[in-house]
Structure 1
């Protein structure tokens, strides 16, 4: 888990929601921005993974952004934004393992056929016979 928080930049804005009259005066919402291509913490392959998996969150200039306005204080929102950004990027770097295609075993095939036969016999016995 890489901590690239030194490369992040922040913007603040007025947040909506709880806060009473304070919400109209204080900029508590935090938007965190990170220039993916200019990162020194990741190699080119990792940057490419991030750019492809998080393309919906990256703007035209190449900045990955995330806005947090859950808390009533700017500092708490900033900390949450950093944590979420790190988590988001680390999830994007995970490459799922390729599935190895396998065939069902003879025992599995036989069990399936036996189950089908039992169900068929059960339904056959339900029929009304003269």
Structure 2
């Protein structure tokens, strides 16, 4: 079990890791050894995550989310497989922690009278500047 928060723990069987050749540092070794890690986590079908957290997690994942609801994280920052595994897992845990925070609902507000006046003043100043750019009258 991977502890994410006090209430959420991920089952290790829900995380799938595949090793691929990385493109980062490593010299000639990079062509021979599969040190990069591709971590896959099915956020849509995970039993460890409550539904609201899973929905927020899928929004946070953005382009890392596939059409099937699987989050794919590729880690190739380090030269060793083990450090890349830790990096990918840490990034997933951080995304889940971010998804556990409930966003504060937005309250509608109206602009103040002073801000309306400032906006209109700046518009009229800009208008005057543009009027001054016109062709100058000729006195012939």
TM-score above 0.5, yes or no: yes
Q: Distance in 2 between matches of 1:95 and 1:38?
A: 19
1:14-62 deviations in Å (ceiling 9; x for gaps): 111321211111100001100112333x122222222233243211222
Partner residue of 1:66 out of 50, 55, 73: 73
Task: Tell me the residue number matched to 2:58.
Answer: 51
Does the Cα contact within 8 Å between 1:28 and 1:72 map onto a contact in 2?
yes
Partner of 1:12: 19
Q: 2:33 corresponds to which residue?
A: 26
Equivalent position of 1:38 in the other structure: 46
Length-normalised TM-score, structure 1: 0.69
Residues 54, 92 of structure 1: 8 Å contact kept = no
Q: Distance in 2 between matches of 1:15 and 1:53?
A: 25
- Structure 2 spans left out of the alignment, 5+ residues: 113-140
Equivalent residue pairs, number? 128
Q: Distance in 2 between matches of 1:53 and 1:85?
A: 11
Match of 2:100 among 68, 93, 102: 93
Pairing of 1:91-130 with structure 2 (within 5 A)? 91-100=98-107
Aligned-residue RMSD, C-alpha: 3.7
- Asked whether the equivalents of residues 5 and 82 of structure 1 are also in contact (C-alpha less than 8 Å), the reply is no
TM-score (normalised: structure 2): 0.64
Unmatched tracts of structure 1, length 5 or more:
106-130
